[in-house]
Amino acid sequence: MTDETRSAGTEPGRPGKHAADAAPDTSSASTDAPAPRAGEDTTGPSDAAHPADDVATVALDEATREQAAERADEHIDNLAAEGPGLMPDGEGSIVEQLAHMSPEELAEREAEVAEVVAPDREIAVEVGDTLLAMDEVTMRFGGLVALDSVSFGIRRGEILGLIGPNGAGKTTCFNALTGVYRPTSGRVLLEGQPLGRRSRHQITRLGIARTFQNIRLFGEMTALENVVVGADARHKTSVVGALLRLPRHHREERAAIDRAMALLEFVGIAGRAAEKARNLPYGDQRRLEIARALATEPKLLCLDEPAAGFNPAEKDNLMGLIHKIREDGYTVLLIEHDMRLVMGVTDRIVVLEFGRKIAEGLPHEIRENPAVIAAYLGVPDDATA
Mind listing the domains of the chain with CATH numbers? Answer: 110-207+300-378 (3.40.50.300), 219-296 (no CATH)
State the burial class of residue 168 (Cβ atoms within 10 Å of its Cβ: 0-12, 13-18, 19+).
buried
Structure confidence by residue, pLDDT tens digits, 115-147: 777 766 678 788 889 999 999 999 999 889 999
* pLDDT level of residue 27 (50, 70, 90 thresholds): very low
Q: Strands 331-335 and 208-210: what pairing?
A: unpaired
CA distances from 118 to 1, 203, 272, 279 (A): 24, 20, 22, 28
What's the angle, vertex CA 17, arms to CA 12 and CA 18, rounded to 5? 100
* 68/289 Cα distance (integer angstroms): 35
pLDDT at 360 over 80: yes
Higher pLDDT, 22 or 345: 345
pLDDT at 59 over 70: no
Task: State the DSSP string of 307-339.
Answer: TTT--HHHHHHHHHHHHHHHHTT-EEEEE-S-H
pLDDT at 239: 63
Residue 228, C-beta contacts closer than 8 angstroms, at least 6 positions apart: 8, 19, 20, 23, 253, 256, 257, 260, 295
Q: Strands 348-353 and 356-361: what pairing?
A: antiparallel
Residue 270, C-beta contacts closer than 8 angstroms, at least 6 positions apart: 94, 95, 98, 261, 264
CB 148 within 8 A of CB 141: no
> Quick one: CA torsion of 297, 258, 261, 296, rounded to 10 degrees?
20
* pLDDT level of residue 383 (50, 70, 90 thresholds): low
Single-letter amino acid code for the residue at 194: P
Cα 50 to chain centroid distance, Å, stands at 30
* 355/363 Cα distance (integer angstroms): 21
CB 152 within 8 A of CB 360: yes
pLDDT at 10 over 90: no
DSSP class of residue 46 equals: H
Q: Which of 17-26, 61-70, 209-218, 372-381 bottoms out in mean pLDDT, i.e. has the lowest?
A: 17-26
Edge-to-edge strand list for the sheet holding 185-190:
144-155, 130-141, 185-190, 193-194
* 195/314 Cα distance (integer angstroms): 35
Long-range CB pairs of 120-127 (<8 Å, 24+ gap) are 120/297, 121/207, 121/234, 121/297, 121/299, 123/156, 123/191, 123/207, 123/299, 124/191, 124/192, 125/156, 125/191, 125/192, 126/156, 127/156, 127/157
Average pLDDT over residues 177-194: 92
* 83/333 Cα distance (integer angstroms): 37
pLDDT at 233: 67
Structure confidence by residue, pLDDT tens digits, 196-234: 888 888 898 888 999 888 888 888 889 988 998 887 766
Average pLDDT over residues 30-49: 40
pLDDT at 29 over 70: no
pLDDT at 215: 82
Q: Is the four-CA dihedral 89, 93, 95, 101 of positive or negative sign?
A: negative
CB 2 within 8 A of CB 202: no
Structure confidence by residue, pLDDT tens digits, 236-245: 666 666 666 6
CB atoms within 10 A of CB 94: 22
pLDDT at 380: 58
Q: Where are the beta strands (DSSP E) in 200-262?
A: 208-210
Cα 85 to chain centroid distance, Å, stands at 23
pLDDT at 98: 64
pLDDT at 290 over 90: yes
* 318/322 Cα distance (integer angstroms): 6
**3-state secondary structure at position 8:** coil
Q: Which of 143-157, 230-244, 282-296 bottoms out in mean pLDDT, i.e. has the lowest?
A: 230-244
* 377/368 Cα distance (integer angstroms): 13
Higher pLDDT, 194 or 81: 194
CB 308 within 8 A of CB 289: no
* 114/325 Cα distance (integer angstroms): 9
pLDDT at 347 over 90: yes
pLDDT at 155: 95
Structure confidence by residue, pLDDT tens digits, 81-109: 443 344 444 444 555 666 666 777 667 77
pLDDT at 117: 72
pLDDT at 337 over 70: yes
